[in-house]
Amino acid sequence: MRNSVKGALLSALVLPGAGQLWLKHYLRGFALIATVSVAFAVVALKAFRQALSILEQIETAGGAVDLVAIMGSASHSSALSDGFMSASTLMVVCWVVGIVDAYVVGNRQDLAEQSSLLILKTTQKDR
């Protein structure tokens, strides 16, 4: 399998930046991993806070579980706040950038390998 495909698949299926690490572009890889990790932490924190808010509302209502009230509370909560949406968007953008960048970097490596093999074959023929 070509480097471009392996790198893109690693970034797509494992984690953005995994393909860059495999292709030995460590700075890009760690930057993508760090960015996605922070964005994921923000999304998880916002979701946790929303869940706590809903639980508090259930407790306030006497502990009765009303599915309609829970759904209404969830839809009106801060889940769609700017922090949540920004972090989610950042994660998606990093994932796409990771896939495209890993493919491009891998493709350059594939072309370099092909040209070095061609040069090697040519020099062996001349001998």
> Is there a domain that residue 118 lies in?
yes
Enclosing H/E stretch for 18: helix 18-22
Give the pLDDT of residue 118.
76
> Is there a domain that residue 3 lies in?
no
Domains contained in the chain, number: 1
Q: DSSP string of 67-87?
A: HHHHHHHHHHSGGGSHHHHHH
Residues found in the chain: 127
76 CB-near residues (< 8 Å, 6+ apart) = none
Percent of the chain with pLDDT over 90: 50
Token pair recorded at residue 51 = 């869940």
Domain hosting residue 105, numbered range: 13-126
Residue 117 in this model has a pLDDT that exceeds 70:
yes
Predicted TM-score (pTM) of the model is 0.77
Give the pLDDT of residue 22.
95
Percent of the chain with pLDDT over 70: 83
Q: What is the DSSP letter of 78?
A: G
Q: What does the alpha-carbon distance between residue 127 and residue 65 come to, in Å, rounded to a whole number?
A: 84
